[in-house]
Amino acid sequence: MQGSNDKSTLKEQYAGLVGNEQIIEKIDAFKANKSRENLLFLLEVIHNRMNDDGQFLIPVIPSQAALDLFTSEEVKAGDTVKSDANLHFRLNTLETADGKKWLVAFTSYKEYEKGEASSIITQDIRSYINIFNKDCGYEGIIINTWSTKFFFIKDFIKIMLNMDKPQNHISFVVGDITKLEVEAIVNAANSTLLGGGGVDGAIHKAAGPKLLLECMTLHGCKTGEAKITKGYNLKAKHIIHTVGPRYHGKTEDAMLLYACYINSLDLAKKNNIHSIAFPAISTGDYGYPAREAAVVALKAVIGWLNSNEEYGMEIVMCCYNEEMYNIFMGVSRGE
């Protein structure tokens, strides 16, 4: 919290506000001409500031607990200062004539000073507007309430918050999985996790010998389950090792293959991974017929995406050759 007397220090302190003049400029332009183009320019500027660690000044009311602390006797040496869960600031909000509640934000110290004095704190724009990801009961934010006054309504804020969110998506590629630029690639391993042929061999070769050392600490993996390691020399930061079933033509095979995909995706999510590539698990050495495997694989990944709609996962199904690619594409089209 700051008073208004020492402006030069404040200027340095509020470095995150530098660049916000563009917001004011675009608000003015939009007010002068409420065209679609001007609105898009304005939203773009706010969006850029959001990604640029831009800050707003937020009027706040200190809670009673905060006031008590400041008015209490000085802390003496040897005292234990307890942190108080209630010690926080309440947002100072504004109610318009129609009874709607709005949050308030200022783009600069100058803008804040134009109206009645109140306590303020700096807050990064992204986390402030993130309030609207929950149902917070506010109509939106009034930016620079004493002058340019822009009503930044919650529907726009929500769109803006979703603009950078990774979207759920599945794509199919032909190629070598070790070359893909995704956050994680999945290895069709065996239960020892100590390497082998096929895609497993290719991944160990491309990742380098440190991968085997890490795998040795994992004590294997059961069929249908998944474990994670680093990606080492790969472009992918992580490798998720899963063990597909050997094909016996039983229903259990499909269940285990299904589990490989689900457990790999769950593990990826747990590690905050948002892009992942799968090989056609079990369709090589483990003898699973390609089309049957593709049906299970797609059912699993689509089902997972549907039940994790909000997460945003980019899934790449990596087919080693054209033939496998055509099979996967055919199944995805329902052929």
Is 331 a residue that touches ligand AR6 (CB under 6 A)? Answer: no
Kindly state the smallest distance separating residue 242's Cβ from ligand AR6, in Å. 9
Kindly state the smallest distance separating residue 227's Cβ from ligand AR6, in Å. 14
- Give the x-and-dash track for 159-188 against ligand AR6 (CB under 6 A): -----------------xxx---------x
Question: Which CB sits closer to ligand AR6, 129 or 324?
Answer: 324
- Give the x-and-dash track for 228-257 against ligand AR6 (CB under 6 A): ----------------x-------------
Is 300 a residue that touches ligand AR6 (CB under 6 A)? Answer: no
Residue from the set 21, 44, 225, 285 that interacts with ligand AR6 by CB under 6 A: 285
Strand 140-143 to 150-153 pairing: antiparallel
Of 6-14, 211-219, 222-230, 279-287: span binding ligand AR6 (CB under 6 A): 279-287
Of 143-151, 166-174, 191-199, 218-226: span binding ligand AR6 (CB under 6 A): 191-199
Q: Which residues bind ligand AR6 (CB under 6 A)?
A: 176-178, 188-190, 196-200, 202, 244, 279-286, 318, 320, 324
